[in-house]
Structure 1
Amino acid sequence: MSDLTFENVTVRYGTRRRGLTAVDGADLTVPAGTVVGLVGESGSGKSTLARAAVGLTPVTGGRILLGGDPVHRIGGGGNPRPLQMVFQDPYSSLDPRMTIGDSIAEAVPRRVVRGSVARRAEVTRLLELVHLPTDGADRYPAELSGGQRQRVALARALAGRPEVVIADEITSALDVSIQGTVLNLVQDLRRQIGLSMLFISHNLAVVRYVSDIIAVMYLGRIVEYGSVDEVLGDPQHPYTRELLAAAPRPGGALLAVPDDDPALLAVADTEPADPHHPPPGCRFHPRCPVGPLVHPDRQVCLTSEPSATPHRHRAACHFAATTDSATLP
């Protein structure tokens, strides 16, 4: 087992004049044997970072390392693939013309499991691992429910013998009643095989349930990183606080903020920044309740890009230490 590390990773689409930098200098670590939850609103660059890790999107700058080696130099040619990805849509991630047994067997490294008998045994093992009946290997994806298909997709990812699995919104296309089954499966896999995973979601409740560490992404950059208890219990970045304020609480209540709070009013009157033309300095400053919108003397946010604090719980904010989290439950 090895750490997955993103070092100053940048991914850009289009040309220099007409382009979009979807990921901009992102630094992130997935320690071996842990689940790191990556959260952020739509368009923040989460899926792009995931696709870059598995080679589906070219990296413009920076490095993606596994155990200190570039991931694109590891695996292939019938050997185990170091990274495998499970996609959001279980209906399009499987070939409808192949049985689920054939789909899983296709992903098993040829140099690791040799012979048809051994491969069938491996398919049986993987189906059992994801809590699916082994006598269903001859069924087609159309015969399965969404939750069953997503479990097949997980089995197919594990068939490649990866060191890290990247799960991109794997529960968002499922019914709420089925989401819990898939999340419990992720927890079981952690206990049984020491699964390492980068778990991408916009749902903080889901991330809290399955993750050891949370990374928060905004406009292509990681703005906060720390353990689940640290990030959700004592958020240091104002964007993380905004995500928490929008998350439903037990009984339907939201994070209580007075209606006349100037920070709330300032943020409510602004629009998210254009990702094609991100603002200078801190990218969150046009929406920030502790920045120049509310505190005009904090002009540093307009001109200087904040760096993450050098601690285990990191936040890329000039005034992270002044963020008041006393109102959080």
Structure 2
Amino acid sequence: MVKTPERIWEEADLAARRLAGLALNPSTPQDVLLRLLAEGPAAVRMVLCRDRVLPDAVVDAVIEADEPLRIVDQPSPLGRIDVGIAGEEAAGVRVGVAHLADGPRMPFQVRPEPLRLAVSVHPALSEEERAAIDYEVPTDCGLHHHPAPSVPRDPEDVRWDALSAHPMLRRKAAQVHELAPDLVARLADDEDLGVRVTLAQNHPDASAAVLLRSFLEYTGSGRAHFATRPNFPTARLAAFADHEDPEARALAVRDPETAPAVVERLTRDPDPAVRAAAARHPNLPRPRLTELLDDEELARPAAANPALDVAEIRRLARTPGDPAGPSVDTLI
């Protein structure tokens, strides 16, 4: 196999990455945003229209342009779930039948998995009948955000599920957005990780402690969603800067009080996501921030660092007519 020659890194590449970072920087002045929209590379204009909340005046400029860019929402990772069941031909049909009122009649103990699990949550069964079924609770089934239904569930049915000995029914209750406060407290300390995670993913008032605990204990799909919840903590997260899990180490960069020396060290972390997050931290010492603006990998997140002053932003976003340096028009 003929090896493809390594592409030579050019100053224009670095400048383009810096411009993309400026497009995300909350400190970037409105007039610079307008110039980037009008004259910047297509990739930078797309960053502006997709990855940040724009001032009204900038949105108006986009809409009124001769060839307006489309302002789009980022696709949400929520709601996706793999429901395939390996090893059971037509399993979905049989599991669906198990939920019917009259259900299959074969003894619970001889039903194959996942049929036993489906039967075990049938609403007609008593708690004793559920306990007699040899079902196996999956560790990650359905652990994601569930949009609120158009017709709310009956509160008594929800309470019944929340007090059940069956983890899957408690997980079902934990999905309810309007869960009663006493049930929120109860399920927040549930012995089943799936119950705690489901509550953290769905309840609008999930506490900071529940969200942080879930983030640290659960490493499956949708983990990043915890950190987007309104109550996710930021204080005292610097304590995770030396955690063995890189996603946990990245929590330290969410703490506004993380020491500058720690932030600088994290820009050299073995994990690229941690390095990029640290490059955007406002406590990053200025010499290191300046150095990263010329770094192939971290120029973009460094340019998005809100600690950059407006003069530096304008220097990095030079437009035609500026005395020196690559201008925006040379990057289109």
The alignment's TM-score, normalised by the length of structure 1, stands at 0.31
- Indicate the structure with greater helix content: 2
Largest Rg, 1 or 2: 2
